[in-house]
Amino acid sequence: MRLPIKLNEAGWPARFSRLSFAFHDPRPLAGNGAGLSQQAFSDAISTMQFGVTFKTTRPGRQQHSNRFVRDLLRGSKPAILDVGASDGSTSLDLIRTLDGDFRRYYVTDLNLSARCGLDRGGIHYFLDNDGNCVLRASKRFIVYSEVNGAILPLRVLAQALISGHRRASQWREVVLIQPELIGLARSDPRVSIMRYDMFTPWKGEIPGLIKIANLLNGKYFSPAQMSQALRVQCSNLAENGFLLLVSEDDEVEKFSVFRKSRGAMQLEHTHAGGAKAAHLVPSQIDLPDVNAA
């Protein structure tokens, strides 16, 4: 990140929030989102970055694809694999739109939780699954550990500030999932929230729809990495199943829908120019290697 130190909009006058380097306050996540609205929870989540990917999301951002999928799946009740769902707000939207027309709904993401600790000055530090500090948040500033592309002084300053996590205490687990979705998964056995890496084969029920929204993006992955992820996901998909790719540009929702048919992926529908990675979807799907362990 070229500018690994951002303003925390909580510590500045409201007009500062229009600046591109002013980000939402992630500190309310330390209380597991208690008392936050769905939008406020997604705002806080969207500031989090793990590796190169941000957890940016918000409810209501995929209305066009949700309606398309509802009409496409009407009456078929497939298992659905939602890959890279962040806090699950967009999963909640699709679940509501489908109004029960699914057999299973797997809400998945590589980063479902973080550890949060505080130092004596009340500064919050967030650690990833491997115990690496990814973010430091004070009332006025947000500092990221991802410093690729930053000039040397900023890189050194960001790393020095991040290293303050060694003095933090009161560590607690923070769940990065909308509380309402957690409640739904508890009460509806069809809905599961699971950690899943899109580069690995899916081990759950074979999905009739795989959705990947705002993850296959050249800002995050090389074309070779995106092609690899797509090969894995096309292999995961059931015969006659659908792959839905969604991306967003300037708040415009774009999507592409492919159908798997006799070992080939066929483009079925394109909306607003299609998703960014649509051209990387393999036309033929490799058969699984039967000799592989």
Positions in the binding site for ligand SAM (CB under 6 A): 50, 53-57, 61, 83-86, 90, 109-111, 196-199, 213-215
Residue whose beta carbon is closest to ligand SAM: 84
Q: Which is nearer to ligand SAM, 157 or 182 (CB)?
A: 182
Nearer to ligand SAM, 39 or 163 (CB): 39
Tell the smallest beta-carbon distance from residue 122 to ligand SAM (Å).
27
Whichever of 111 and 236 has its CB closer to ligand SAM, that residue is 111
Q: How far is the CB of 41 from ligand SAM (least distance, A)?
A: 13
CB of 109 to ligand SAM, least distance (A): 5
Joined tokens for residue 22: 């002013």
Q: Which residue, 221 or 258, is less far from ligand SAM as judged by CB? A: 221
Q: How far is the CB of 215 from ligand SAM (least distance, A)?
A: 4
Q: Judged by CB, which is closer to ligand SAM: 54, or 242?
A: 54
| Shortest Å, Cβ 92 to ligand SAM | 11
